[in-house]
Structure 1
Amino acid sequence: MLGSAISNCVRAAIRRFSRATDGNVAVIFTFAILPILAFVGAAVDYTRANNARTAMQSALDSTALMLSKDLTMGTITAAQIPSKAQTYFNSLFTNKDGQGIAISATYTTPTSTAAATILLSGSGYINTYFMKFADLSGGNFRKVNFGSSTTTTWGNVKMRVALALDNTGSMSQNGKITALRNAVAGTGGLIDQLSALSKNNGDVYISVIPFAKVVNLGTSNYTQSYIDWTDWLNPPTTQPNNGSTQASLPMNWHAVGPGARCPWTNSSGGFTCNTSPTSTSNANYIPSSGTYSGYICPSVDYNSHTNYNGCWVSTPAGTGVFCTGSSSCSCPKNSSGNNVSGCSCTTTSGVTSCSGNLYTHDWTQPGPLDLIHNLGQPRVSAVVGWTNNKWTSTNQLPTVQNNWLLASTNPISTWTGCITDRTQPNDATGVLPNTSDVTTLFPANEYYENSSLYCSNSASPQLGPIIPLSYNWSALKTAVNAMQPTGGTDQSVGLAWAWQSLLVGGPLNAPAEDANTTYNRVIIILSDGLNTEDRWPDYGDGSSQASGNPIDARQALQCQNLQAAKDANGAPMYTIYAIQVNTSTPADPTSTVLQNCASSPDKFYMLTSSTQILTTFNTIGTALSKLRLAK
């Protein structure tokens, strides 16, 4: 070895110098070089010892993790730990300088208040190359000892992983949805990786949250008290989330009845009229015959991409003035382009007044006075008309409340399962639902885009239902493999329900947690695009966000709240991985909101091809498989 060669040369030189009689310089040089060599040699030898110690630490850490996994899987017993530890360590420690290596393994059984532990200790030494010059008699400088230890817990760490997975329409491009299915539910995929860590049922749980603009909670949950039915039951003129796109009643509203032109268009209200409560067939005029004669049924909303769940009925209320005091006051038109029968207008001194057949327009969802029908439904207090069935310049705001007393034309049992963002500020929090505060409840929605009710069981493709925390690996794989590309992108609603799936006492019934157990709570969100729409039409139109990225702003606050959540020990409650799949041409910009949502920079992944989805989930699965070392 190089060190031995140098040592032999130096020793020979010293012997020559000690025999020299040519002068005192040689003697002086001999005594002077010894401390110099000692200092240089000490640095070299201590570096070698430190390298050997580092190699030992790494081998001990990996051995402890492998032993913990073996114990978890039941492939070894506690009695086999020492021999198995030696076998693992021997294959992992490859440092050539280390000599006299010895390790010990101590297993401590768990108690009611403490987890089981495995303590591994190692020791050894290196033979010095240079330091031994300082001790020619063969003393303590001929070797440097080193040692290390590591401790890992076993049996008290459990894992709960929520997968928020993009199921939007663009996932159909470049094989992304197929790659995602394989990465999560394929052979050797994430579900297989995590399920392999589970010795007993409940050691590992996984939830699956497919998301688009909404999530699908499943139709069977329509009786749950945590659902907010306000938007779902209300007419389009009483939608508190619609902002500047809020539709309004026309001033000739009380003259609109059978045979009149639909009073709205996509440009004037965001919707048109349909032929019946459950139809998607357009009607330019209010039906004047049949079961739904006089029914004014709004179509899907062009702005919010939602379907409404009722109609206004036209109940005759005699004749009279229906609007006065505005030059815009006019009679509704019939299919011939003329005023509807019996309607006329006069203008006196610049004041226009119109009169004709009058109609009231209750909305076909239960009003506050309904004490007979719809007993299992919430009541709708929407405003449906003006006092005395007349708009005036001094009575411009409608005040008459809905008074539907018959069976609902769209009972809540027909809900397809869509849930949208919660009312602000709780769209950005993980607060549990409380019936005394409607902002904590989860709004039902009837998402309709690209001619599809994406949450419906009959939709093809369908946005798959949420799967709460489960260790039914087969069912989880089935759900993932059934995922299909659907509508627009709202990452926040997927993230919100991934959060809810990890909360004990929440709507998804996460299993109770043991105070003596450590839980790794993990959220993985994958999206292939930028946010384009959410509950608020003013924020985005399905193609792009409004100025200032208001959807991202809400999600950024949500991510901050997630990251700020702490457990009982003051440690972060959640570990968040964020994945952006960016295969667009031209490429989308990096999603800052996703990037900042990750718990740390190394937990954000920017992917530029579908093939990277598999390797990324494998990388995350490997990271989650490692137990945290105590030291």
Structure 2
Amino acid sequence: MMMNKLRRFLADKRGSLAVAFAVSMYPVMMMICAAIDLSRMSQQQARLQAALDSAALRVARQVADGKLTGDLNAAVLKAVQGNINPTELVNVQISAVMDGGVIRVSGTGMINPMIANILTDNNLQVSGTSAATWRTRKIDLVLVLDNTGSMASSGKMAALKTAAKNLIASMQAVATRPDAVRIGIVPFDTQVNIGTTYKNQSWLSYSGVSNLSASNWTGCVTDRDQSYDVNDTTPTTSVPGTLFPARQCSTGVLASILPLTTDWAAMNAKVDQMSPSGNTNVTIGLAWGFHMLTPSQPLTEARTLATEPDLERIIILLTDGDNTQNRWTTNGNSIDARTDLACTNVKANGITLYTVRVINGDAALLRRCASQTTMYYDVSTAAQLIPVFQAIAAQIGQLRLTQ
């Protein structure tokens, strides 16, 4: 009897199988939990990095705008805490320093594991670094805008006005200091209308046109003598070729220029005044945009890099057609050569140049003219002008991460 019971006990494997199964499942469960914790670590690492990037940009903007109050570390920590889940990432530590024009940020945080002692404490720590530039940026921006007759078609002038006003509003939004952003406007056809305010300036020349004088001049100028037509040489009476030839306005509707200003209402009013008429001379429009951004005569409102090292000078040049007429010729190739030279001189002076082609015009010329290929925009419908100008405004106004 006893021997039979012993044999049955030794033959019964049900209990041993259960024990073996439980033992074998333990490492599997540990591996699953470890995998989950590693996934959580990866997720929280990404969230901490995003929070550090956002905090660096936010605090850099506050510093640039003169709005940072209190401790730098406290400001960064507050910004980081607003972008993380405190129940997932605990014991967050932040370090922030100003290094010249850069704010450098680093941070660490801890994740509570699902099962204790699966990983070491060091492995449960996540960390990240970020940096953002800050500057008291100042921007002088000139809109050089085609006002020729072809802008009357396909809704182009209406779209241009809307796009220009939206850009002005965007620039006003980033102008957190009174003089942070100034904008000038240069409407052009074959001439530029500088207005009769300058009628007695020594840099104007009334020669070459019979019966033209300061008393009856309507405010327009044509190209200077070559090669002064494509550069910013200061005019002087001792060198007649440097003077600006006064002419009667050929169309009678060309809006006058608006020199650099912080008067936002005046900018919008100038845009409203624009009316399409006449032929196209891109060179003269660009030349006067150039003059507007340099402090020598004829226009003297420009700031200089010597006194404003963080100044950014920018031209947005828009046209919807080929060059058709300048002071000397109606040969498009000849006029294009003058435009090419003007573009080269503008960029050599450190001015950033965006170009926008609206439906028609010499794409290759405008692409060459831009400071970078990414700063050339080809617009196939008038409606696209609005998002294009918004994109340019965003590029001009943004802060960039440096790390």
The TM tier, using the shorter chain, reads 0.7 to 0.9
* Paired residue secondary structure (1:413): coil
* Paired residue secondary structure (1:230): coil
1:630 is displaced (CA, Å) by 5.4
Q: State how far apart, in whole Å, the 2-side matches of 1:166 and 1:14 are.
A: 70
* Paired residue secondary structure (1:488): coil
Distance 1:100 1:80, change over 3 A: closer
Give the letter for the 2:262 counterpart.
Y
* Paired residue secondary structure (2:174): coil
Q: Is the 8 A contact 1:525 1:578 kept in 2?
A: yes
Give the letter for the 1:11 counterpart.
P
Cα deviation 1:187-216 (Å, max 9, x = unaligned): xx1111112222332211100101111110
Give the letter for the 1:149 counterpart.
S
Q: Which residue of 2 is the match for residue 153 of structure 1? A: 134
1:498 is displaced (CA, Å) by 0.9
Determine if the alignment matches structure 1 residue 228 to structure 2 residue 205: yes
Q: State how far apart, in whole Å, the 2-side matches of 1:593 and 1:71 are.
A: 40
Q: Is the 8 A contact 2:292 2:302 kept in 1?
A: no
Aligned pairs, number: 374
Question: Which among 113, 123, 143 is matched to residue 142 of structure 1?
Answer: 123
* Paired residue secondary structure (1:487): coil
Q: Which residue of 1 is the match for residue 343 of structure 2? A: 559
Q: State how far apart, in whole Å, the 2-side matches of 1:563 and 1:192 are.
A: 26
**Residues 29-48 of structure 1: pairs in structure 2 closer than 5 A:** none
1:85 is displaced (CA, Å) by 4.0
The runs of 5 or more residues in structure 1 that have no matched partner are 1-7, 16-40, 109-113, 130-135, 234-308, 311-409, 449-453, 566-572, 583-587
Give the letter for the 1:65 counterpart.
L
Q: Which residue of 1 is the match for residue 271 of structure 2? A: 480
Q: State how far apart, in whole Å, the 1-side matches of 2:123 and 2:105 are.
A: 27
Q: Is the 8 A contact 1:420 1:442 kept in 2?
A: yes
Q: Is the 8 A contact 1:128 1:141 kept in 2?
A: no
Distance 1:63 1:602, change over 3 A: farther
Q: Which residue of 1 is the match for residue 159 of structure 2? A: 179
Distance 1:418 1:150, change over 3 A: same
* Paired residue secondary structure (2:155): helix
Q: Which has the larger share of helix?
A: 2
Determine if the alignment matches structure 1 residue 64 to structure 2 residue 56: yes
Question: Which among 284, 297, 306 is matched to residue 506 of structure 1?
Answer: 297
1:427 is displaced (CA, Å) by 1.8
Give the letter for the 2:299 counterpart.
L
* Paired residue secondary structure (1:627): coil
Give the letter for the 1:63 counterpart.
A
Q: Which residue of 2 is the match for residue 287 of structure 1? A: none
* Paired residue secondary structure (2:277): coil
Give the letter for the 2:286 counterpart.
L
Question: Which among 375, 383, 395 is matched to residue 623 of structure 1?
Answer: 395
Q: State how far apart, in whole Å, the 2-side matches of 1:97 and 1:525 are.
A: 51
My pick for the range that moved more, 192-201 or 208-217, is 192-201
Q: Which residue of 2 is the match for residue 435 of structure 1? A: 237
* Paired residue secondary structure (1:552): helix
Q: Is the 8 A contact 1:73 1:197 kept in 2?
A: no
Q: State how far apart, in whole Å, the 2-side matches of 1:65 and 1:142 are.
A: 29
Q: Which residue of 1 is the match for residue 108 of structure 2? A: 123
Q: State how far apart, in whole Å, the 1-side matches of 2:88 and 2:243 are.
A: 65
* Paired residue secondary structure (2:323): coil
Q: State how far apart, in whole Å, the 2-side matches of 1:564 and 1:484 are.
A: 32
Q: State how far apart, in whole Å, the 1-side matches of 2:315 and 2:341 are.
A: 16
Q: Which residue of 2 is the match for residue 469 of structure 1? A: 260
Distance 1:199 1:12, change over 3 A: closer
Question: Which among 316, 322, 325 is matched to residue 524 of structure 1?
Answer: 316
Q: Which residue of 1 is the match for residue 147 of structure 2? A: 167
Give aligned-pair identity as a percent.
Answer: 31
Cα deviation 1:363-409 (Å, max 9, x = unaligned): xxxxxxxxxxxxxxxxxxxxxxxxxxxxxxxxxxxxxxxxxxxxxxx
Q: Is the 8 A contact 2:45 2:126 kept in 1?
A: no
Q: Is the 8 A contact 1:206 1:471 kept in 2?
A: yes
Distance 1:122 1:531, change over 3 A: farther
Distance 1:210 1:178, change over 3 A: same
1:145 is displaced (CA, Å) by 4.3
Q: Is the 8 A contact 2:132 2:399 kept in 1?
A: no
Distance 1:618 1:493, change over 3 A: same
Q: State how far apart, in whole Å, the 1-side matches of 2:248 and 2:351 are.
A: 31
Cα deviation 1:489-542 (Å, max 9, x = unaligned): 1111111111111111232212444635401111111111121111112x43xx
Q: State how far apart, in whole Å, the 2-side matches of 1:440 and 1:519 are.
A: 28
1:558 is displaced (CA, Å) by 1.5
Distance 1:423 1:98, change over 3 A: farther
1:12 is displaced (CA, Å) by 3.8
Distance 1:411 1:476, change over 3 A: same
Q: Is the 8 A contact 2:132 2:400 kept in 1?
A: no
Question: Which among 349, 364, 385 is matched to residue 613 of structure 1?
Answer: 385
Q: State how far apart, in whole Å, the 1-side matches of 2:375 and 2:73 are.
A: 35
Q: Which residue of 1 is the match for residue 189 of structure 2? A: 212
Q: TM-score, normalised by structure 1?
A: 0.52
